[in-house]
Amino acid sequence: MSGAGSPTAALGETIDGSGLRVVIVAGQWHEVITDGLIAGAERVLTASGAEYEIVRVPGSFELPVVSKAALEAGADAVVALGVIIRGGTPHFEYVSAAATDGLTRVALDTGKPVGFGVLTLDDEQQGLDRAGLPGSKEDKGEEAATAAIATARALATLRA
């Protein structure tokens, strides 16, 4: 598990999301894990005072296009959540690369933050360990939402 070196100063702290409109875009695959990620993101966004909505998409491949649409429609940030578990075919690599590259492109093209909460896993247990569920070692939904708000604030400071 790679939680070592995480920015503990920002995680767990309440950051100011007031006045921000955030869209959580989440895939539908691996529902228990994804629902845990969403719950973690919701906790952060609620505590921060950000306004948010949730949009569900079929899978991780669809995250970039819907994230871009949300940002172009006026959202200040997106929290992209998905679960991709390795199988016996190259499908894992293609979907993982498409989601990662696509979300990076969305952030750069729009100039707005995309909190990256797409889990790329070897097995389901790794996802359960990262989903912020009871017994989980990490909460990647929380981390992605924290990153989105913190980046939105950093960009606002630079643009002021």
Predicted confidence (pLDDT) per residue in 135-157, tens digit: 999 999 999 999 999 999 999 99
Which residues are the active-site residues?
A: 91
Mean pLDDT score, 82-111: 92
pTM metric for this prediction: 0.92
Q: Which residue has the tokens 């980046």?
A: 151
1 pLDDT band (50/70/90 cuts)?
very low
What is the pLDDT at residue 91?
85
From the list 6, 35, 37, the residue with the least C-alpha distance to 119 is 37
Give the mean pLDDT of the chain: 92
Cα separation of 73 and 84, whole Å? 27
What is the pLDDT at residue 90?
79
Would you call 6 exposed, middle or buried from its count of C-beta atoms within 10 A (0-12, 13-18, 19+)? Answer: exposed
